[in-house]
Structure 1
Amino acid sequence: MTPDELRSAQKLTMANPERLRLLARLLTHPAGRCTAEDLVLRAAPEDPRPDGPGAGDLPRGVAAARAVAEVEEHLQALVAVGLVAVVGPVPADAALYRVSSRGIARFGSAALAAPRYPGEPTLDERDHDALLGRLVDTLAIAFAANAGAGTVDRLVRECYSALHRQVGSSEQVPALTAWLATDRLAAMAEVTHGSPRDVLFVCVHNTGRSQIAAAVTRRLAGDRIRVRTAGTRPVAEPDTMTETVLARRGLDGLIEFPRELTDDIVRTSGVIVTMGCGDACPVFPGRRYLDWPLDDPAGRPIEEVERIVDDITARVRALVAEIDAVDEPADDVAAVEAMAADGTFGVEQQRGWLPRLARRPWTVVTTALGARAQRKAR
C-alpha cells in the first residue's frame, strides 16, 4: 500500500463516528493502553447507553458481550491502517491497544471534537480553547480521585503551551496535549512511585534510541511494564529512518511523540535508562539508574540503524528478564508474611507459594519474614 493509499484508507476507516469516540477514549485512558472490554466499561458517564447502541431488552451480560465484540472489531480496523497498535504479545483472551503516534497526529483532534455521547455537539477542530475545555472535563472525571478540576486545567494548559513551543502552531497540538496531559496525570496519581515495573528511557532528542527501546519493551513486556520516554532537548518530529527500521519489524506503532523530560515522570519511574544524557536527568533516591552507551541513529544509513536496533533489543530483553526475575508480586510477599504470622507452613500451602518463591531471590523471603521481626521489636 502506497502512502497515498494508506491515507485514503485511514480517512475511510475514520469516517465512522464511533471510531472517533473510541480513539478519544483510548487517547485519554490513564493506563495509556487497554482492552476492548475496558473501553466499553469506560464509556462516558453521561452516555445514557453504556452498553452501546441497540442494547434494547437483551440481558446485560449479552449486551455487554456484544458491545465488547463490536469495539474489538472497530479496534482491529484501526490497527489495520496503523492508527492503533497492539501492545505486547497478543494474549488468547484480550489484546491491549494504544493509539499510535500517527493516529494522534492525524485524527486525535477530530476524536476530541467528536461527541462523547449522543446529544453532545461536535466541536470545531480549529477551536483549541473548546477542545481543551472538553479535554479538561474528560480528564477531571478520569482522575477525580487524585486531582481536582483546577489541577487538571492547569496541567492541560501547561502541556499545551510546552507543545506549542515545541512544534509551533499546529492542528495536532490539542491531540498531543491530550496524550501528554493524560500521561503526566497518571504519573502524578501513582500511589507507589519508583516501582521497578515503571521504566523510563531518556535520550537527547527523544526520537531515536529511547523510542526504539520503548517500542521493543512494549512488544516484549506488554502490560507487565509501564514504559515512558523523554528527551532533554526534544524535537518536533520522530526520526524517519528509525521509524522505517521499526516499521520493518512491526514496531513503528509503538513509539510516541517526542516529549520533554519532567520531574514527575522521573519521580514515578523505578528504572531510568539514560542514553547519552545522564548528567541532565534529575536524580531521586530509591531509583535505579542505568546508562547505555549507544550510538545515535540520527543521520546514519539504514544498515547502521539496524545494528543499533539489534543492540538495543538485546539490552531490553536482558532488562525485561531481570525485572521479571527480581520484582516480587505483592501477593506472594503478603502470603509469606501471613504464614509467618500464624506459623502455617504446611504442605498444602507450600504447593501454592513455595515453588514461586523458589524461583525468586531469597532476599524477598527474608524481607517479608524480617518485617514480622521488626514489628515485634517495635
Structure 2
Amino acid sequence: MTPDELRSAQKLTMANPERLRLLARLLTHPEGRSTAEDLARSAAEDLAAVADVEHDLDALVAVGLVAVVGPMPSSTALYRVSSRGIARFGTAALAAPRFPDEPALDVRDHDALLDRLVDTLAGTFAANANAGTVDRLVRECYAALGRQVRSSEHLPALTAWLATDRLAAMTEVTHGSPRDVLFVCVHNTGRSQIAAAVTRRLAGDRIRVRTAGTRPVSEPDTMTETVLARRGLDGLIEFPRELTDDIVRSSGVIVTMGCGDACPVFPGRRYLDWPLDDPAGRPIEDVERIVDDITARVRALVAEIDATDDAVEDAVEAEAGDVAGLLVPMTAEVGRFDAAEPRGWLPRLARRPWTVVTSALGARGQRKAR
C-alpha cells in the first residue's frame, strides 16, 4: 500500500463517528492502553457491544492508527493509540461528541477542545485530583508542546496524550514499582523509543513503559521508524516528550542512554545506564544493529524484573504460611477453629501486622496494583 493509499484508507476508516469516539476514549485512558471490554465499559455499553468495539479496533489497527501491545497472538488484546493516530485523527476525535446530543467542536477552536479535555480528565481522575489541578496541568502541557511542535494542528491531541499520562503518573497509588520503567535519552526519538517499543511488545501489561528526552525534538526519527516498521513495532513508539519530575518519581527503574546526569535522582529507584550509539543520522545497517543491541538488553531486563517479582511473591507466600498459624481466628471459650476461615495466602496476608508484610516485601518488592 502506497502512502497515498494508506491515507485514503485511514480517512475511510475514520469516517465512522463511533471510531472517533473510540479513539478519544483510548487516547485519554489513564493506563495508556486498554482492552476492548474496558473501552466498552467506559462508554457505558453492555458486554454485547464488546464485539463491535473489537471490530472497530481491528479496523484501526489495520490502517496503523492503533497498535496492539504485548505478544501476538494473545487471548486478550491490549490496544494503544499510535503516534500516527494521535497526529492524524486525535484532534478530530476530541472534537467529536462524547455522547448523544453533545455538539461537535471546531477542530480549530483549541480553547473549547481544551475545556472539553479538562472536563473528561477531571472525571477520570476525580478520586485523586480536583478540576483545578487538572486544568493547570492541561494548560501547562499545551504550552510546553507549543514550544516544541511545529504545527499547532496537532496540539490538542498531543496535549490529551501528555496530560493523561502525567496525571496518571502523579496520581498512582504506588510509586517506584519495578514494573514502571522509564527510558531516557537526549532527543527521545531513537534509543528510548526503540527500548519502549520492544518492551511494550515483549511485556504487554506486565510493565508500564514511559519515555522522555532531556532535549526532545519535534517528531520521531524517520530511520528509526523505518527499522521498527520492518519488525512490526513502529506503532508502539510515542511522540517525543520532555523529562519531568513526575514521570521519574512514578518510575521504579530508570534507564538512561547518553543523557548523562540530566535525569533527576529520587531515592528508592533503580538507575541503569546503557552505553548505546545514537541512531540519528546513521545508515540503516547501523540502526538495525542498534535495535538488535537494545532488544537483547530489554529481554534481559524484562526477564530480571519478572524473576525478581516471582521471588518476592514466593517469599511473601512462604512467610505468610509461617505466620498464618498464629493468626487463625479461634474462639477462646470453646477452643475450636473457625470453619469459615478463608483459605489461601492472600486473605491471611491481609490480616497480618503491616510490619511483617513490609519486611517480607522490602522496598523493591512493592508491586503496583493492577
Counterpart for residue 218 of structure 2: 236
Q: Is residue 17 of structure 1 aligned with residue 17 of structure 2?
A: yes
Q: What letter corresponds to residue 31 of structure 2 in structure 1?
A: A
Distance 1:84 1:254 in 2: 9
Q: Is residue 209 of structure 1 aligned with residue 187 of structure 2?
A: no
Q: Answer yes or no: is the 8 Å Cα contact 2:83–2:235 preserved in 1.
A: yes
Q: Answer yes or no: is the 8 Å Cα contact 1:164–1:170 preserved in 2.
A: yes
Distance 2:16 2:229 in 1: 26
1:368 to 360, 367, 370: 360
Q: Is residue 132 of structure 1 aligned with residue 124 of structure 2?
A: no
Instruction: Give the Å deviation of 1:123.
Output: 0.1
Instruction: Give the Å deviation of 1:168.
Output: 3.6
Q: What do the CA deviations read for 1:217-273 (whole angstroms, capped 9, x no partner)?
A: 000000000000000000001000000000000000000000000000000000000
Q: Is residue 256 of structure 1 aligned with residue 243 of structure 2?
A: no
Distance 2:27 2:140 in 1: 18
Distance 2:112 2:106 in 1: 8
Distance 2:82 2:48 in 1: 26
Q: What letter corresponds to residue 102 of structure 1 in structure 2?
A: R
Distance 1:22 1:300 in 2: 38
Q: Answer yes or no: is the 8 Å Cα contact 1:336–1:368 preserved in 2.
A: no
State the secondary structure of the residue aligned to 1:6.
helix
Q: Answer yes or no: is the 8 Å Cα contact 1:88–1:221 preserved in 2.
A: yes
Matches within 5 A, 1:63-102: 64-90=46-72, 92-102=74-84
State the secondary structure of the residue aligned to 2:178.
strand
Q: Is residue 296 of structure 1 aligned with residue 281 of structure 2?
A: no
Q: What letter corresponds to residue 119 of structure 2 in structure 1?
A: D
Runs ≥4 in structure 1, deviation > 2 angstroms?
90-93, 328-344, 364-371
Q: Answer yes or no: is the 8 Å Cα contact 2:196–2:209 preserved in 1.
A: yes
Distance 1:370 1:329, change over 3 A: closer
- Identical columns (%): 85
Counterpart for residue 42 of structure 2: 42
Distance 2:42 2:126 in 1: 14
Distance 1:312 1:167 in 2: 28
Q: Is residue 277 of structure 1 aligned with residue 269 of structure 2?
A: no
Residue ranges of structure 2 left out of the alignment (5+ in a row): 327-343, 346-355, 364-370
State the secondary structure of the residue aligned to 1:167.
coil
State the secondary structure of the residue aligned to 1:290.
strand
- The aligned length equals 338
Q: Answer yes or no: is the 8 Å Cα contact 1:336–1:369 preserved in 2.
A: no
Instruction: Give the Å deviation of 1:93.
Output: 3.1
Counterpart for residue 266 of structure 1: 248
Distance 1:66 1:294, change over 3 A: same
2:295 to 313, 325, 329: 313
Q: What letter corresponds to residue 231 of structure 2 in structure 1?
A: R
Q: What do the CA deviations read for 1:96-155 (whole angstroms, capped 9, x no partner)?
A: 000000000000000000000111000000000000000000000000000000000000
Residue ranges of structure 1 left out of the alignment (5+ in a row): 44-49, 52-63, 345-351, 354-363, 372-378
Matches within 5 A, 1:115-126: 115-126=97-108
Instruction: Give the Å deviation of 1:338.
Output: 3.5
Q: Answer yes or no: is the 8 Å Cα contact 2:41–2:47 preserved in 1.
A: no
Q: Answer yes or no: is the 8 Å Cα contact 1:272–1:290 preserved in 2.
A: yes
Distance 1:247 1:109 in 2: 24
Distance 1:369 1:296 in 2: 38
Q: Answer yes or no: is the 8 Å Cα contact 1:200–1:227 preserved in 2.
A: yes
Instruction: Give the Å deviation of 1:190.
Output: 1.0
Q: Answer yes or no: is the 8 Å Cα contact 1:90–1:96 preserved in 2.
A: no
Distance 1:115 1:205 in 2: 36
Q: Answer yes or no: is the 8 Å Cα contact 1:135–1:178 preserved in 2.
A: yes
1:324 to 306, 323, 338: 306
**Structure-2-length-normalised TM-score:** 0.87
State the secondary structure of the residue aligned to 2:68.
strand
Q: What letter corresponds to residue 143 of structure 2 in structure 1?
A: S
Counterpart for residue 356 of structure 1: none
Matches within 5 A, 1:144-183: 144-183=126-165
**Structure-1-length-normalised TM-score:** 0.85
Distance 2:322 2:34 in 1: 37
Distance 2:122 2:114 in 1: 12
Q: What do the CA deviations read for 1:11-51 (whole angstroms, capped 9, x no partner)?
A: 000000000000000000000000000001111xxxxxx22
Matches within 5 A, 1:221-232: 221-232=203-214
Instruction: Give the Å deviation of 1:340.
Output: 2.6
Q: What letter corresponds to residue 239 of structure 2 in structure 1?
A: F
Q: Answer yes or no: is the 8 Å Cα contact 1:337–1:369 preserved in 2.
A: no
- Decide which moves more: 76-85 or 327-336: 327-336
Distance 2:273 2:198 in 1: 17
State the secondary structure of the residue aligned to 2:12.
helix
